[in-house]
Amino acid sequence: MASKQNPAPKDKAADEITYLRPVSNCSGCGDTKVSWSVREGMRRFNRQLKLKGKDRYELIYAADRGCGNLQGYHAYGIVDAIFCMGSGAIVGDGIKESCSEKQLVVTASGDGAYNFNISGIKFAAKNKKFGAINVIYNNYNIRMTGGQIPLEVDFDKEGSALGFEVIHINPYRVDDNAELFKELYGRYLKKEKIMVVADGVCVLDMGKTAKDSGIRMGRFIRSDECLDLKFAKERERVAREEPEKLKDMPKFKCRLCGIGLRCHALLDNDPGKCFGCGACIQFPCPVGALSFEGPSFSTSISITELKKT
């Protein structure tokens, strides 16, 4: 029997409904941070060119199936096409043939799926009609099928041999990465080929490695001025005094933690769920209530470097 789905309340914001979907990534997920930077980069690119309305450039995102791209679909709604593992680059090149000049196509793969259809990535690099931005979510294993270790890949050598300029990024430096993608969209229009490798996107694995190495990662800190903390108290009051109204109240008040960061640790106000990604450091809290204490992966994804901090 098919499961019955409850219709979304009309008074709920669309992005609030999206957040409450069952598919979501871990707190501090690096994949989530890269998706935010891809989308934010396009927003900044249009703002830089002072484009509005129909004159703005539009992001088209073609992805492989994987944890790096499923969250982009569910959490941010930026994924326009998602098929089998290894399909992103070749599907993206097909989309380019039918796009308008105002639509820029970004493709994405995981480090495992990269090897599933490398011919598609090669075709994208050699296609002289269009530019290419190919994002590789590099978490050093194939999460979708049980965490197997993928074929060893030297992206610098292989990407260059295929015809890409290879750029490595720290996925947790979200603001820097948004600025990078803003620049890359301009280069895309000049038909340049860029492969962006987001190293260490699995904060769960990195957190375990850091712990095994004796590194105690930092945690976020909230003051009593936090809008969500104040709202939580209001929810508690409503639950006691007017329980029938609780179901109509949103889970959070501030859009930064629930919508922008997509962080369960912040949303639940539970530092125990914080993996120390440090992305929240780069998001200005509207009331100055959010800070971070201790080492974070936004500082470095290298265990050797973190030991020095």
Domains present along the chain, CATH in parentheses = 30-201 (3.40.50.970), 209-308 (no CATH)
* Per-residue pLDDT at 299 exceeds 80: yes
- What does pLDDT average to over the chain? 83
Report the predicted TM-score, pTM, of the whole model to 2 decimal places: 0.82
pLDDT at 146: 64
Cα 96 to Cα 41: distance, rounded to the nearest angstrom: 20
pLDDT at 266: 84
Q: Which pair of structure tokens corresponds to residue 292?
A: 């971070």
pLDDT at 116: 80
pLDDT at 22: 43
Lowest mean pLDDT among 20-34, 104-118, 184-198: 20-34
pLDDT at 72: 53
Mean pLDDT across the stretch 41-55?
Answer: 95
R_g (Cα) of the chain, nearest Å: 20
231 compared with 152, residue with greater pLDDT: 231
Q: Which pair of structure tokens corresponds to residue 222?
A: 């909230």
Cα 124 to Cα 121: distance, rounded to the nearest angstrom: 5
Q: Predicted confidence band at 68 (pLDDT cuts at 50, 70, 90)?
A: low
Helix orientation angle between 118-126 and 88-98, rounded to the nearest 10 degrees: 40
Cα 15 to Cα 263: distance, rounded to the nearest angstrom: 14
* Per-residue pLDDT at 4 exceeds 50: no
Q: 229 near 291, Cβ under 8 Å? A: no
Residue with tokens 């990535």: 121
* Per-residue pLDDT at 19 exceeds 50: no
| CA separation, residue 303 to residues 191, 201, 206, 217, 296 (Å) | 37, 14, 9, 11, 11
Nearest to 113 by CA among 136, 82, 90: 136
Residue with tokens 């204490």: 293
Q: Strands 103-110, 58-63: parallel, antiparallel or unpaired by DSSP?
A: parallel
Q: Predicted confidence band at 138 (pLDDT cuts at 50, 70, 90)?
A: confident
Q: Strands 165-169, 193-199: parallel, antiparallel or unpaired by DSSP?
A: parallel
* Per-residue pLDDT at 279 exceeds 50: yes
